[in-house]
Amino acid sequence: MRDVLASFIEASAARGAWESALAAWNTALFTNSREVSSNHTLLLTRVLAQYSRWREAVAVATSAETALCSRQLAARRVALLATIKAGSWREACQQVLSVRRYLENSAAIGPSVGYTEEAEISKELYLVVELIEQDLLQGIPTEQRGLWDPVVGCLRGKVERHPPKQAGELRRCIPDVENTTRSDEYQMRCGSDADHVTNNEELVHILRKPKERNSWCGALRLLLDMQHPNAASVNIVITILKSQGREAEVLRVVNDFMVSRKIQPTAITVKAVSEAANTMRSLPLCISILDNPSMRGKLTAQSAVPMVLALQRLAEWKRCLEWWSSVPPPTTLSGEGTTDYNSGGVPNLRRHLKLSSYVAVCLAGGGCWLDALAALHYAAPYDPPLAILFSLRALRVAGNWEAAVTLLHKNCSVWKGSKVTLQVLDVVTEQNAESWIPPHVVHMLRGLFRS
């Protein structure tokens, strides 16, 4: 269950009231400090950094000299980054000294904190050193830089003694069941695992602001830094990565990060991945959906359409046919006049006329015109004239003019006089119809239906 302080901080951040969040944190800290965990410290530090309140962020991050904890170290890193962005290199250097003192005064990295936490501390320390070397040192005047080399070297030495696994890659350590039991003392100083603090405001800020080059890097880093990322966090990051064409990173988020952090995809997650697959024309992303039972089972009509479009553009009609054949037919047809054919349940996918039409066109692209027409079978009763139009378009893609003419004549009473009459006739008499229907047949159809 979410605690009151975390909920208040997140709510305050959502409306831009960072002062209220800071006041609540200070009140809780001075009245009952045991209620304030490192989760709260990290969350508030991020909120303050987001609003460029780097001085307040530093004060919060360094408020307690607790025993070594990855979240406390992460809070110091966030505050350091905010200070560097503000151009205050002197204050940033003082924070580097503070980090070194924190490490020296805290308990050494060891098995007492648990395998998973040890890995988290190593990763955070690596990111701190990387931040110092790549960002801070570049802003220090050349004549002053030599004074800080020993400090950076000391921190670098700690990283080399405890290197994080696959540093810099998109991964998280999978918990070792035998080593994840933490002592009561450790839970008290680092916060209970029940404190599921998830703040997506920073990710939303990156998503909404004008696209900046490499802003996806910041989004990924935020995702990795989260102690309790959820499906919403993943959805936002996938959308950011999609907008910047980062296919490989989306794949790692979906196939590696979500699995290692045990994040279950939602229908929105599947839709985000499907749209990314269509935007980037990515077969691997389509496969990530189709080969993952959790994602495949959450496909809705709305999320399946972009995936089918991607498969069509990639000429992967066989995969589309395999998936569509595996979708169970509806057990019973809804009553006459039903409009709830596009609900999210898998049994209703075949009843969705728009989705069925995209599947039909995809299959027709592979020459499977019979399968294309069959794809519209369960959806056709909901709008028969529109189903005829979609069938003709699929046959046009397949190049089967004989079947199109037969369908047109056989169902004349269905489409003639309907709201799509002109569109139906345009398919076979206009729109460059001579490219797939013999000219004399087109002339005959014009005389028959347009006279």
Say how far apart CA 442 and CA 427 lie, in whole Å. 10
User: What was the pLDDT predicted at 421?
Assistant: 93
Q: Regarding predicted confidence, which is higher, 395 or 118? A: 395
Say if residues 442 and 433 touch (Cβ distance below 8 Å): yes
Q: Regarding predicted confidence, which is higher, 210 or 416? A: 416
In-domain check, residue 240:
yes
User: What average pLDDT does this structure show over 380-397?
Assistant: 95
The tokens for 45 are: 């530090």
Q: How many domains does the chain have?
A: 2
- What's the mean per-residue pLDDT of the chain? 81
- 18-32 pLDDT per residue, tens: 888 899 888 888 877
Interacting residues of 39 by C-beta distance below 8 A, sequence separation 6+ = 6, 71, 191, 195, 197, 227
Residue 376: pLDDT above 70?
Answer: yes
Q: Closest by alpha carbon to 120, among 61, 63, 182?
A: 182
User: What average pLDDT does this structure show over 35-41?
Assistant: 83
Q: Closest by alpha carbon to 189, among 25, 38, 5, 6?
A: 38
Residue 298: pLDDT above 80?
Answer: yes
Q: Pseudo-torsion of CA 106, 112, 115, 117, nearest 10°?
A: -40
User: What was the pLDDT predicted at 198?
Assistant: 57
Residue 344: pLDDT above 50?
Answer: no
The tokens for 370 are: 């019979």
User: What was the pLDDT predicted at 356?
Assistant: 96
Band (123; pLDDT cuts 50, 70, 90)? confident
Burial (CB < 10 A; 0-12, 13-18, 19+), residue 381, is: middle
* 179 and 206 housed in the same domain: no
Band (369; pLDDT cuts 50, 70, 90)? very high
Query: If DSSP states are collapsed to H, E and C, what string results for 198-231?
Result: CCCHHHHHHHHCCCCCCHHHHHHHHHHHCCCCCH
Residue 16: pLDDT above 50?
Answer: yes
User: What average pLDDT does this structure show over 270-287?
Assistant: 95
User: What average pLDDT does this structure show over 325-346?
Assistant: 57
Neighbouring C-beta atoms of residue 363, cutoff 10 Å: 28
* 128 and 217 housed in the same domain: no
- 396-412 pLDDT per residue, tens: 999 999 999 999 999 99
Residue 193: pLDDT above 60?
Answer: no
* 234 and 253 housed in the same domain: yes
* 57 and 180 housed in the same domain: yes
In-domain check, residue 186:
yes
* 64 and 115 housed in the same domain: yes
- The DSSP line for 253-312 is IIIIIHHHTTPPP-HHHHHHHHHHHHHTT-HHHHHHHHT-HHHHTT--HHHHHHHHHHHH
- 148-169 pLDDT per residue, tens: 667 777 777 766 655 555 444 4
In-domain check, residue 12:
yes
In-domain check, residue 348:
no
User: What average pLDDT does this structure show over 310-319?
Assistant: 96
* 15 and 80 housed in the same domain: yes
Residue 173: pLDDT above 50?
Answer: no
* 83 and 100 housed in the same domain: yes
User: What average pLDDT does this structure show over 183-199?
Assistant: 40
Q: Closest by alpha carbon to 385, among 443, 425, 431?
A: 425
The tokens for 134 are: 């790549």
Residue 214 lies in domain: 199-263
- The DSSP line for 47-88 is HHHHTT-HHHHHHHHTS--PSP-HHHHHHHHHHHHHHHHTT-
Taking the chain, what is the end-to-end CA distance rounded to the nearest angstrom?
Answer: 71
